[in-house]
Chains A and B, each alone.
Chain A
Amino acid sequence: GAGVSQSPRYKVAKRGQDVALRCDPISGHVSLFWYQQALGQGPEFLTYFQNEAQLDKSGLPSDRFFAERPEGSVSTLKIQRTQQEDSAVYLCASSLTGGRSGNTIYFGEGSWLTVV
């Protein structure tokens, strides 16, 4: 597709359930990012991939959060044993080139996770 595609768009999970969120970046984009956006807040960085390599995971809030991009294209963000504080919009973004800052990143519509 032309843009970053995320699925599911909406997910309701029971507390303690595992969830997996998928991101399909813009074709050919080297860099892929995951951000978490709580209600009424700006996005907060979770993790960064350059191709299949996870170069920065400093923003992952706990070891219950795990991300992968095994073939350098599609990425999955997995949250184990979900807690209510995990309720947020999870945004995936990609950019054409790799490397450090300054590259414009393009966002998907997000996966809205509600933990009940």
Chain B
Amino acid sequence: AQKVTQAQTEISVVEKEDVTLDCVYETRDTTYYLFWYKQPPSGELVFLIRRNSFDEQNEISGRYSWNFQKSTSSFNFTITASQVVDSAVYFCALSEAAGGFKTIFGAGTRLFVKA
């Protein structure tokens, strides 16, 4: 069965601190896709990154970076030098090639960045 666990319910940091959001997933499929989305107070889920199971290369995009490790079934997300505008709920999600059309989301981590 597919499952996504985001153990951190809420994280609070001071601006300019680095912060890592954890994501652990479970799947029996060998082909799968992992995602991170940001949900600001407006409610819209904003796509951040998509990674397939065959590409373990870490990725950096500006202040954002992602660490994908199949050995530990983790896909962690780090924000460097956090800013107040980063305050939002962040969701990790999983989609299996054999799992039909659905994407499974974790419960989310609420990030507060204080000035």
Residue of A101, A107, A110 with most chain B CB atoms under a 10 A cut-off: A101
- Choose from B43, B98, B101 the contact partner of A89 (Cβ within 8 Å): B43
A contact residues, total (Cβ < 8 Å):
28
At the interface, yes or no: A62 with Cβ under 8 Å from chain B? no
Residue of A44, A102, A107 with most chain B CB atoms under a 10 A cut-off: A102
Count of A-B contacts judged by CB separation below 8 Å: 73
- Choose from A33, A44, A102 the contact partner of B33 (Cβ within 8 Å): A102
B contact residues, total (Cβ < 8 Å):
29
Q: Is the CB of B105 within 8 A of A42?
A: yes
What's the minimum C-beta distance from A59 to chain B, rounded to whole angstroms?
Answer: 7
> Bound state CA distance, A44 and B103, in angstroms?
8
> Bound state CA distance, A56 and B100, in angstroms?
8
Stretch at the interface among B69-77, B78-86, B89-97: B89-97
Write out the residue numbers on chain B whose beta carbons fall within 8 Å of the beta carbon of A55: 101
Q: Is the CB of B43 within 8 A of A110?
A: yes
Q: Is the CB of B43 within 8 A of A45?
A: no
Please judge, given known A-B contacts A41-B108, A42-B91, whether A106 and B47 are in contact too, CB under 8 Å: yes
